Amino acid sequence: MNENPADLAPELCVLIAAVLGLVNGLFLPRARQWWVAGVCAAGLLAGLVVAGLAATRPDLAAFDAFAIDPITHVTRIAVLATTAAVIALAAATVRGHPRETEFYVLTMLSALGAITLGASSDLLVLVAAYLLASIPAYALAGFGKDAPGTEAALKYYLMGAFLGILMLAGATLLYGVGRGTAYGPLRDGLGTAPAAAVGAAVVALLAGLLFKAGAVPGHYWVPDVAEGAPPVVAAFATTVPKIGAFAALLRFGADALPPGTFDWAPLVAVVAAATMTLGNLAAFGQDNVRRLLAYSTVSQAGYLLVPVAMAARGDLAEPALLYYAAAYAVTNLGAFAVVVAVGRDDLDGYTGLLRASPLLGASLAVCLLGLVGTPPTAVFVGKVLMFGAALDGHYAWLAVLAAVNSVASVFYYLRWIVPTFGKPRPGLRPARAPTAIAVALAAASLALGLASGIALSL
Amino acid sequence: MTVLSLVIFLPLAAALGLAAVPRAPRRAVLAAWIGTSAVDLALVAALWIRYGTGGGAGSDGIAYEENARWIPSVGAGYHVGVDGLSMPLLALTALLFLACAVYSVRQEHRLRAFAVLFLFLETVCLGLFAALDLLLFFVFFDLSIVGMYFVILLWGHGERARSALTFFLYTFLGSLVLLLGFIGLYLGADPHTFDMVELIRRPPLDGSPGLAALTLLAIGIGLGVKTPVVPFHTWLPPAHTDAPAAGSAVLAGIMLKMGTYGLVRIAMPMLPDAWRRYAWVPLVIGLLGVLYGALVALAQDDLKRLVAYTSVNHMGYVVLALGAAGFSGGTAARELAVSGAVTQMVSHGLVTGALFLLCGVLSDRAGSYAIGRYGGVARGAPVFAGLTAVAAFASLGLPGLSGFVAEFQIFTGAIGAGRAGVAAAAALSVLGVLVTAGLFLRVLHRVLLGGPGELTGRVTDVRRPELAAIAPLLVLSLAVGVAPRPLLDTIAPLSDAVVALVAR
């Protein structure tokens, strides 16, 4: 058994940075708490470097519960990079806040939970990772201490707690019928288990993971958190934990279930279909950009579930999911960064953005058209792979439904893009630092699409 | 980087350069726009001359080939090249974009953004006609929709927001269906690849006719929406009516060709069995387009809508010819049909581009397309009247102009293929020519001749830039009509190859 802690170096970097940041924050005067952001960013960057190095080494499993394979590599890199962007975005907006340190540290811990979620190959670790990813995020949702934030946090927490219990019950049941919690033994043990029990357990386990992924039926928190929590938190909660959740779903679908006992694909395919359709339908009428983005993330979760459903049905599922998740994270974060930069939540607030700040307006257009799946952005390549995975798994109806939904989504994204061409309203002055981050993320989304060959060959 | 890549990306580079200079003076913007398009046209012309003299072509007739790795793990690459099908269309694209640039000299509203968008679209269209990789083709296909959406939205008139949205949603749906078809080809190929040359060499889905039929259906719908063929044409009239003149010219002249180009380049050679088995579908749909487009055009009172519907009619001939090429029968006749289809693409691009620019002149002077409000325009605007007459005659297929060369080949090819059904369809489609002739004569009669209408007084003659934009298109149409040899010689090897590929 491999018990070398050095294999967990990226996670340790995040953890150490979080602890150091917390300790430092206790003693630093309020005006100098930005130092903590520096510590966290350094930890994330160090983690990125180590994760990049680890990605070149052969697959292995640490402590029998933590797989270190391509899924984990991509999860690590995507989570670390997007968290770094969130920290940078936060540094510009929560500077001087009485609880500045707490913000950074909670973000780091939740990100750590997201990585662990994607890497765990054992139900117990999975549940622990779920809690680690969730609990700091509940606190973050209520960070503003205002009425909408409190409501968002409460909703987020209640749903998370309820579905978390279900998930724990599912894990228990699987342990009972499969005589193991690690995916390897579980796969062997479930071969002879009663199908009904396995089915019930998988559904219960899915509840928690779908909650983290923001997919139907666990999606109710998404619009409230996106609208009620501070924008940076909204950006974080709708992006980073999802990467981990989808990686966990993919791993569970591919590794833990033996072929023949339980039909994973139809169940997840139906959930995917419902998620993308409901998310799109709900997004149509939104006039608040954060709610609009929230429902857009729900529909994106639907597309992301397509390769999850195809986890055991073809070679395209894994690259499709990983690539799409990373592309989605960058693009979605870019759109939220524009919201942070402009500081307005209503669609009218974006009138004339392209003239007032051409770079920021162009970034918004790139990110939103990217979410539609317009080439040559990263999400386009993700979508191509996703369609490929669906057709490869003989789920043509799902691919067609995803295509129809993509077209429908054009409508509400355009509702946001079109006003940016108008005459700027007075007082439209986007903040500098978030603008830079939004532009960087939009550029990254383009670059990731154009250079997808390099990214996919890893 | 080869010359071809330079041709493709030169306009994009110019667009980025223009976008980076926010306070560029008007004259500089125009000079950059026209200059870039002119250089690009000169480069394409040079490519064609060298191609025509046998230079640069490989064993499979593809010249100026470039193949770079892009996403190797899914077998997609930056693979571009030129053959007898893409060469004329590249030249048409470069020419029409230059014409639009010259035409837009007097454009007041947001000239710089307009130039940037058109240069971007030029790269997209050139890239599409040069692409030899399905994914690359799709990238350009999709971007053309986004670019044209903004052209209609920002510079259109009438209900432009609505028309633009309809256009975007409709064609985007088509493009995604097309993407599903491409993925079907990809998954059907062994080894999996998006490379067109590979896919043509070893047609995918050879052993599974059901899947091949489904894939052809997806590709057919995707390309059919863009062409547009009759049940999927409803986005076209509003988009054309509300787009600016230059936008309409590009949309009709070039972007409609993307659909039929895809049929010749992708659907026919990659799914030959399915194409042969279902050849009656394009035949019937093409016939429907010919007749329906002509009849609806006849009923229009809006000149621009009328021209838009004649596009449906003209593209119907192309689809019909390609369908006829899928039937067994005389090889020479089928080659003639394919050659006619490609000629029709070029001819339609030249003539309809000119017609839409002429519509733009009318709207610029008097702000209306209503045929009934004009009359006797020829008296005050003789040059305009002359140009319109030539364009109308070219469009209705008068001998001596390009439309005739194309349609004659199509009819001869389809009737000569030796199948009674095909011959009947071709004979019926001749009725389309009759209706088009009637409706264009009606337009000439009502707008150019007769007593003065309420808006006639406002129509002044074409200005010099307008003339410089429109006249070359019509001169070329005349040139193709009188001396079609250079064009047909370029197309001939391609049409032979396509017919041979379909027949295997």
Q: What is the pLDDT of residues A114-161, one digit of tens each?
A: 999 999 999 999 999 999 999 999 999 998 889 999 999 999 999 999
The pLDDT-based confidence of B1 (bands split at 50, 70, 90) is low
Give whole-number Cα distances, A16 to A13, A40, A67, A108, in Å.
5, 9, 21, 10
Alpha-carbon torsion (B325, B326, B327, B329), positive or negative: positive
Mean pLDDT across B127-138: 94
Residue B57, pLDDT > 70, answer no
The pLDDT-based confidence of A250 (bands split at 50, 70, 90) is very high
pLDDT digits (tens, 9 = 90+) for B15-43: 999 988 888 888 899 999 999 999 999 99
Residues 169-188 of B with CB under 8 A from A: 169, 172-173, 176-177, 179-180, 183-184, 186-187
Q: Do A388 and B74 touch (CB under 8 A)?
A: yes
pLDDT digits (tens, 9 = 90+) for B329-373: 778 888 999 999 999 999 999 999 999 999 999 888 888 888 888
**A60 in reach of chain B (CB within 8 A):** no
- State the smallest CA–CA distance between residue A421 and chain B in angstroms: 8
Q: What pLDDT score does B120 carry? A: 95
Task: Give the separation between CA B502 and CA B499, rounded to whole angstroms.
Answer: 5
Give whole-number Cα distances, A85 to A436, B408, B504, in Å.
11, 63, 56
Residue of A319, A375, A456 lying closest to B143 (CB–CB): A375
Q: What angle do CA B303, B309, B315 make, to 5 degrees?
A: 140
**B117 in reach of chain A (CB within 8 A):** no
**A395 in reach of chain B (CB within 8 A):** no
Task: Give the separation between CA B407 and CA B413, rounded to whole angstroms.
Answer: 10
pLDDT digits (tens, 9 = 90+) for A153-209: 999 999 999 999 999 999 999 999 988 899 988 988 888 888 889 999 999 999 999
Chain B hits for A388, CB-CB cut-off 8 Å, are: 74, 183, 186-187
**B137 in reach of chain A (CB within 8 A):** no
Residues 444-503 of B with CB under 8 A from A: none
Chain B hits for A403, CB-CB cut-off 8 Å, are: 173, 176-177, 179-180
Task: Give the separation between CA B143 and CA B172, rounded to whole angstroms.
Answer: 10
Helix axes A240-251, A289-309, angle to 10 degrees: 20
**A410 in reach of chain B (CB within 8 A):** yes
Mean pLDDT across A348-352: 89
Identity of the residue numbered B456: T
The SS3 call for residue A312 is coil
Task: Give the separation between CA B202 and CA B212, rounded to whole angstroms.
Answer: 14
The SS3 call for residue A105 is helix
Chain A hits for B172, CB-CB cut-off 8 Å, are: 372, 406-407, 410
Contact criterion met (CB below 8 Å) for A361 and A263: no
Q: What pLDDT score does B449 carry? A: 87
Strands (DSSP E) contained in B121-198 are: none
Residues 353-372 of A with CB under 8 A from B: 358, 369, 372
Chain A hits for B76, CB-CB cut-off 8 Å, are: 453
Nearest to B401 by CA among B361, B451, B343, B458: B343
- State the smallest CA–CA distance between residue B36 and chain A in angstroms: 24
- State the smallest CA–CA distance between residue A81 and chain B in angstroms: 22
The SS3 call for residue A67 is strand
Q: What pLDDT score does A363 carry? A: 94
Residue A17, pLDDT > 80, answer yes
The pLDDT-based confidence of A43 (bands split at 50, 70, 90) is very high
Q: What pLDDT score does A58 carry? A: 78
Q: What pLDDT score does A99 carry? A: 86
Residue of B154, B176, B184 lying closest to A406 (CB–CB): B176
Identity of the residue numbered B408: F
Residue B421, pLDDT > 90, answer no
Residue of A369, A399, A421 lying closest to B180 (CB–CB): A399
Q: Do B172 and A384 touch (CB under 8 A)?
A: no
Q: What pLDDT score does B59 carry? A: 62
Task: List the single residue in B with minimal CA-CA distance to A414.
Answer: B165
Mean pLDDT across B461-472: 91
Q: In angstroms, how far is the first alpha carbon of chain A from the final one? A: 26
Residue of A381, A407, A414 lying closest to B71 (CB–CB): A381
- State the smallest CA–CA distance between residue B63 and chain A in angstroms: 25
Of A265-279, B200-214, B281-295, which range is least confident?
Answer: B200-214
Q: What pLDDT score does A229 carry? A: 92
Chain B hits for A368, CB-CB cut-off 8 Å, are: none
Q: Do A385 and B74 touch (CB under 8 A)?
A: yes
**A411 in reach of chain B (CB within 8 A):** yes
Q: What pLDDT score does B338 carry? A: 92
**B165 in reach of chain A (CB within 8 A):** yes
pLDDT digits (tens, 9 = 90+) for B163-192: 999 999 999 999 999 999 999 999 888 888
Chain B hits for A358, CB-CB cut-off 8 Å, are: 22
Helix (H) or strand (E) holding B68: strand B63-71
Chain A hits for B72, CB-CB cut-off 8 Å, are: 453, 457
Give whole-number Cα distances, A375 to A50, B37, B175, in Å.
32, 24, 12
Q: What pLDDT score does B192 carry? A: 87
**A454 in reach of chain B (CB within 8 A):** no
Residue B56, pLDDT > 70, answer no
Q: What pLDDT score does A344 carry? A: 87
Contact criterion met (CB below 8 Å) for A261 and A190: yes
Over pLDDT 90: what percentage of chain A? 64
Q: What pLDDT score does B58 carry? A: 65
Q: What pLDDT score does A56 carry? A: 84
Mean pLDDT across B416-428: 85
Task: Give the separation between CA B141 and CA B285, rounded to whole angstroms.
Answer: 23
Give whole-number Cα distances, B418 to B155, B316, B334, B399, B492, in Å.
49, 21, 10, 25, 21
Interface test with A, best of B9, B74, B211 (most A CBs within 10 A): B74
Q: Do A387 and B179 touch (CB under 8 A)?
A: yes
Chain B hits for A410, CB-CB cut-off 8 Å, are: 168-169, 172
Task: List the single residue in B with minimal CA-CA distance to A393.
Answer: B187
**B142 in reach of chain A (CB within 8 A):** yes
Q: Do B69 and A453 touch (CB under 8 A)?
A: yes
Task: Give the separation between CA A450 and CA B48, rounded to whole angstroms.
Answer: 30
Task: List the single residue in B with minimal CA-CA distance to A410.
Answer: B169
- State the smallest CA–CA distance between residue A250 and chain B in angstroms: 20
Residue B462, pLDDT > 90, answer no
Mean pLDDT across B487-493: 89
Domain range list for chain A: 264-458
A-B contacts (CB, under 8 Å): 78
Q: What pLDDT score does A46 carry? A: 95
Mean pLDDT across A228-242: 93
Q: Which two three-digit tokens encode residue A331?
A: 């693009």
Over pLDDT 90: what percentage of chain B? 59
Q: What pLDDT score does A426 carry? A: 79
Mean pLDDT across A321-336: 94
The pLDDT-based confidence of A40 (bands split at 50, 70, 90) is very high
Pairing of strands A60-62, B76-82: unpaired
Q: Do B183 and A388 touch (CB under 8 A)?
A: yes
Contact criterion met (CB below 8 Å) for B154 and A414: no
- State the smallest CA–CA distance between residue B186 and chain A in angstroms: 8
The SS3 call for residue A68 is strand
Residue of A376, A384, A414 lying closest to B179 (CB–CB): A384
- State the smallest CA–CA distance between residue B210 and chain A in angstroms: 13
Nearest to A303 by CA among A442, A162, A408, A220: A408
